[in-house]
Amino acid sequence: MTAAAPVRPPLLDVHDLHAEVGGRALLRGVTLHVAPGELVGVIGPNGAGKTTLVRAVTGLLRHSAGMVRLDGVPLETQPGRERARTMAVVEQLPEAPATMLVRELVLIGRFPHLGLLGRESARDRAIAGQAMARAGCEALADRMLGTLSGGERRRAFIARALAQEPRLLLLDEPTAGLDASAQGEILQVVRTLADDGAGVLMVIHDLSLAAAWCDRLVLLHDGRVVAAGAPAEVVTAEHLARVYGPYVTLLAHPETGAPLVVPAVR
């Protein structure tokens, strides 16, 4: 049920987390952890509690029981700016003025590092430039957000998160609404970030992509962890039948043997 303890101490340590909204229990005892250099995928059907988990872990939703530790420190004892220097979040549908330039957006990511009246220094601009390079949106620096495609926009917001210089990155559905090629490009960016040492927790709907790109997966259902561990251990016919019902089919990738999940065909 639970994965083997990570070798390195976890950046994110979620223990027996409970959360409710309007009296309805949406998380009922979720335990997971993310270590540096690790890409962990959170999967599960609609309503399983994936986005609630992100909101609880980022402090937007106060949990009713359990514990969230960020780099060993309980989440609720940390001031917001300090937290933002450790953890960056990219929401599902982040907003920003359509006339804002990509480089302006990315520079806003430096906020938690600056004093209240401080101006961005040359160093801040350099860090924002590196963030755009890592997210693959350097060429878009002088474009207005309103003129970007879905994939380009996603890169811009990932760059904004990277400008925070976080050690932990939370991504809520970074590939939702993108074409197959843009999905692959975004996941390559995310994979490289983890390989370079960041801990990444990513909510993702697409089970095949999750299995192909993540180090570990956590399968949520009704606010509980149904399975956690290596992709091949989590994405199994038994788990799929239990959580998704009869409308999905499990195949194996012809070259890699990785799990491929497709909607049931009539």
Partner 1 sequence: MRARVRTLGPFAGATLLLAVVALLAVTQGTTAIPLSTALAMLLDRLPFISVAAEAPESWQRILFDVRLPRVAAAGVVGAALSYSGAAYQGVFRNPLADPFLLGVASGAALGASIAIVSPLPIDSYGFGWVPLFAFVGACIAVALVYALSRTGGLSNNATLVLAGVAISAIASGITSFMLLTGGPRTFPIFSFLFGGFNTASWPRLLMALPYFVVGAVIVLVQARALNVLQLDEEQAAHLGVDVTRTKIIVLAAASVMAAAAVAVAGVIGFVGLIVPHAVRMLSGNDYRRLLPLTAILGAAFVIAIDLVARRALAPQEVPVGIVTEILGAPFFLYLLRRGRGGSL
Q: Which residues bind partner 1 (CB under 8 A)?
A: 58-60, 79-85, 88-89, 91, 94-100, 104-105, 108-109, 111-112, 114, 116-117, 119, 146, 164
The smaller minimum CB distance to partner 1, of residues 112 and 199, is found at: 112
Which pairs with CB-CB distance under 8 Å and at least 24 residues apart come from 70-74? 70/11, 70/12, 70/13, 70/168, 71/11, 71/167, 71/168, 72/9, 72/13
The smaller minimum CB distance to partner 1, of residues 59 and 184, is found at: 59
Structure-token match 């989590």, residue found: 234
Rounded to a whole number of angstroms, the minimum distance from the CB of residue 73 to partner 1 is 15
Rounded to a whole number of angstroms, the minimum distance from the CB of residue 184 to partner 1 is 26
The smaller minimum CB distance to partner 1, of residues 45 and 94, is found at: 94
Tokens linked to 180: 């197959």
Question: Alpha carbon of 97 to those of 100, 144, 145, 157, 173: distances in Å?
Answer: 5, 9, 7, 13, 21
User: How far apart (Å, rounded) are the C-alpha atoms in residues 265 and 145?
Assistant: 39
User: How far apart (Å, rounded) are the C-alpha atoms in residues 111 and 123?
Assistant: 13
Rounded to a whole number of angstroms, the minimum distance from the CB of residue 16 to partner 1 is 24
User: How far apart (Å, rounded) are the C-alpha atoms in residues 217 and 205?
Assistant: 12
The smaller minimum CB distance to partner 1, of residues 105 and 137, is found at: 105
- Phi/psi of residue 231, nearest 5 degrees: -50, -40
The smaller minimum CB distance to partner 1, of residues 73 and 248, is found at: 73
The smaller minimum CB distance to partner 1, of residues 82 and 179, is found at: 82
Rounded to a whole number of angstroms, the minimum distance from the CB of residue 81 to partner 1 is 3
Rounded to a whole number of angstroms, the minimum distance from the CB of residue 15 to partner 1 is 22
Rounded to a whole number of angstroms, the minimum distance from the CB of residue 129 to partner 1 is 16
In the chain, what's the furthest Cα-to-Cα distance? Answer: 62
Question: Running DSSP on this structure, what letter comes out for residue 147?
Answer: G
